[in-house]
Amino acid sequence: MAIESPIGSDSTLPDLDNPELYINRELSWLQFNLRVLEEAVDENRPLLERVKFLSIFASNLDEFFMIRVSGLRNQMLGGVLEAPADGMTPAEQLAAIRMRVQPHLERYTEAWNGVKAELAAEEIEILLLEDLKKKQRKLLRKYFKREIFPALTPLAFDPSHPFPHISNLSVNLAVVLRDPRLGERFARVKVPHTLPRLLRIPSEEKADSFETLGLAEVAANNFVWIEEVVHANVDMLFPGLEVVDAYPFRVTRDADVEIEEDEAADLLTAVTEGLEMRQFGSAVRLEVDATTPDDIRDILVANLDLAPYQVFATNGPLGMADLWDLTEVDRPDLKEPPIQPKLPPALQTDESIFSIMARRDVLLYHPYDSFMAVVDFIREAARDPDVVTIKQTLYRIGANSPIVDALLEARENHKQVAVLVELKARFDETTNIEWARALEQAGVHVVYGVMGLKTHAKLSMVVRRDPDGLRRYVHMSSGNYNVGTARVYSDVGLFTTDPDIGADVSDVFNSLTGYSRQRDYRKLLVAPNSMRQELEARIEREIAVHQAEGGGYLAFKLNALIDRDIIAQLYEASGAGVKIDLQVRGICALRPGIPGISDTITVTSVVGRYLEHPRIYYFGNGGEPELFVGSADLMPRNLNRRVEVLYPVEDPEIRQVVVDDILKVHLADNRQARRLRTDGSYDRVRPEAGEPIIDSQMEMVAARETWPTG
């Protein structure tokens, strides 16, 4: 895509309002999900890891329709006229999404068929009913009658039976029947989600053992989709009628819960009521099998109040996020070899973590460093008689949380414990509500969030009575306090007792739990107060430094870059000659490579075994570099509508590790990285002739042992 430099009215400055300078965020996200799909066809990956990426692609797309597409449709129906920086209206975006998604689904089907064939070669077979032997089909009919039939509720649709509610993301069968007296009938059968989506089935040789052992005991790694079993035996549900055929379909609904905080008695009630409405949101997507007749599609479209552009036909199974179940197959030879996280060297001692932190800052880089270091920090605080107070933010907590267990133990030990539980963490609301109630019942001071904002900052603070007085021990991170995600997300954290940072964290907690209009902080960059202004000031400083003495350099690693004002400022910096390296895992609305505007900007994305999650911001500053790490992406929501924190990394040794051993290595990746082109597409980065192959994530595994700091 060739874009000429647009010149403003003064003939010197480019027109940075030109929509051609910006990539649409939704189309950029679809490009990200396509990069996920590309991992599923990467033959360098173990086979069951490729299955994971197929599952992730499908799960991502479900959420995209539930949140982003539903939001665009609501904007279109509501007559929203304000366009994003790229200038596309909601209707134009919906049309463009439709054009992109259908080819992606075709590529997905092709990828799945290829992976399925390779699985079969490894004796992991996903079979069709028609491929099974007679004895196997007979066995499955017995299993259906005993285990599935009682869970099914056929719902008729005719003048005396209204069209049934189709729950979000459920797999259903549209059953066409012929009644001897009434003619053709229509019914819906929902496939029960309480049973495995992929049923293990025995080989023909073992089928005879079913009656004595049961299905699971005699099954090998052979599977069949449960909806096929329901389809093959659906006649049991309609005795006296002829089953003409049955067609699978799936509905995606608007799940972007609108929480009217100002109209509810309390936030907990508002979120709980909003969750109850999620299953009843308007339909935004209908998925059908490509063989579904037009008249059946028409019935579904009309009764779900959909438009034709919202219907997607596929030549494979629906709801492929459930492929994740296959990763439970016990075949370690088809999976990545496990990496055992370790405690950082500074913590590999029996010494109290408080003694260690009092002497030095300690860097954590998960999942290469064990998250148990953070758990042990809270546990030790809960048991230490000198600890007075523990304060914590919790965004995505997860089930069976040892962090929450430690906080509960602290309360049992009569510590003062204050926790902000963000109830509005999308799709984690139910778990967070349960934990919030458990903490409250134990006497913990629980805050549910801040009115009108989400609290996304990742902060822990322990106040301890040391011999020389009260001291604040702080942990800050780019990642959630969640043991599960800490095994698969890469995140940077820091333990510190820096007095200024401790005072800033105290001020942040006071603003979360009480009434505070604090705007100025000593060292932290805090949104929505001053983070935007602080970042913009540092970019302006880099421009000034470069104009005065050259050598201007910015390097950012983050999840998403879509804020129009920040992008425009990066264009200004590039136009001034500042070199800019960006690694944006997901959405990027900036177009690199435009002459005179962004030709000094390089944008890469790494999609690999671990989800790249750190936000790292490096400012060259004329040889006196500044480095910030934390929770905030460069998006309007993060800078304007969330409580976010970026913390400075000031210890020279630790800063050098983050810059040289983490940031630079990821920027140099030529194994997993893709480079963003001006037209919004991505190309794989390939090593130059004689250049070593750099897989940044594997480099982290090897290099972590040699890092000189905590």
Are 494 and 562 members of one domain?
Answer: no
Are 47 and 194 members of one domain?
Answer: no
Q: How many CA atoms lie within 13 A of 27 on its CB side?
A: 24
Report pTM. Answer: 0.93
- The last residue of one of the domains, among 300, 334, 368, is 334
Instruction: Note whether residue 4 is domain-resident.
Output: no
Instruction: Note whether residue 13 is domain-resident.
Output: no
Domain CATH code at residue 174: 3.30.1840.10
H or E, element range at 313: strand 311-314
Are 134 and 179 members of one domain?
Answer: yes
pLDDT at 559: 97
Within 8 A by CB and 6+ apart from 371, the residues are 341, 483, 486, 487
Are 449 and 487 members of one domain?
Answer: yes
Instruction: Note whether residue 236 is domain-resident.
Output: yes
Instruction: Note whether residue 339 is domain-resident.
Output: no
Instruction: Note whether residue 265 is domain-resident.
Output: no
CA 83 to each of CA 93, 209, 428: distance values in angstroms, whole numbers, following the listed order:
10, 64, 30
Are 509 and 532 members of one domain?
Answer: no
Are 496 and 433 members of one domain?
Answer: yes
Instruction: Note whether residue 407 is domain-resident.
Output: yes
Q: Domain span at residue 61?
A: 19-117
Are 669 and 552 members of one domain?
Answer: yes
Catalytic residue among 231, 366, 456, 666: 456
**Per-state percent for the chain, helix, strand, coil, to nearest 5:** 40, 25, 35
Query: 77: phi > 0 → left, psi -120 to 50 → alpha, else beta; which?
Result: alpha
Are 542 and 665 members of one domain?
Answer: yes
List the one residue out of 416, 384, 422, 419 whose CA is nearest residue 404.
419
Are 445 and 509 members of one domain?
Answer: yes
- The last residue of one of the domains, among 463, 481, 513, is 513
165 is catalytic: no
pLDDT along the chain (710 residues), means of 10: 45 80 97 97 96 97 95 87 89 95 96 97 92 87 92 87 91 93 90 91 62 53 93 94 94 76 52 56 94 94 93 94 94 93 90 96 96 97 97 88 94 95 72 83 88 91 96 97 93 98 96 82 95 98 97 97 97 97 98 96 97 97 96 96 96 95 97 96 92 94 69
Are 657 and 558 members of one domain?
Answer: yes
470 and 388 Cβ atoms separated by less than 8 Å: yes
Are 590 and 700 members of one domain?
Answer: yes
pLDDT at 11: 42
Instruction: Note whether residue 89 is domain-resident.
Output: yes
Are 163 and 231 members of one domain?
Answer: yes
Q: Rounded CA gap, 659 and 208, in Å?
A: 63
Domain CATH code at residue 542: 3.30.870.10
Instruction: Note whether residue 270 is domain-resident.
Output: no
pLDDT at 268: 57
Residues 195, 199, 204: CA angle, nearest 5 degrees = 145
Query: Domains in the chain: how many in total?
Result: 4
- The last residue of one of the domains, among 334, 356, 373, is 334
pLDDT at 160: 73
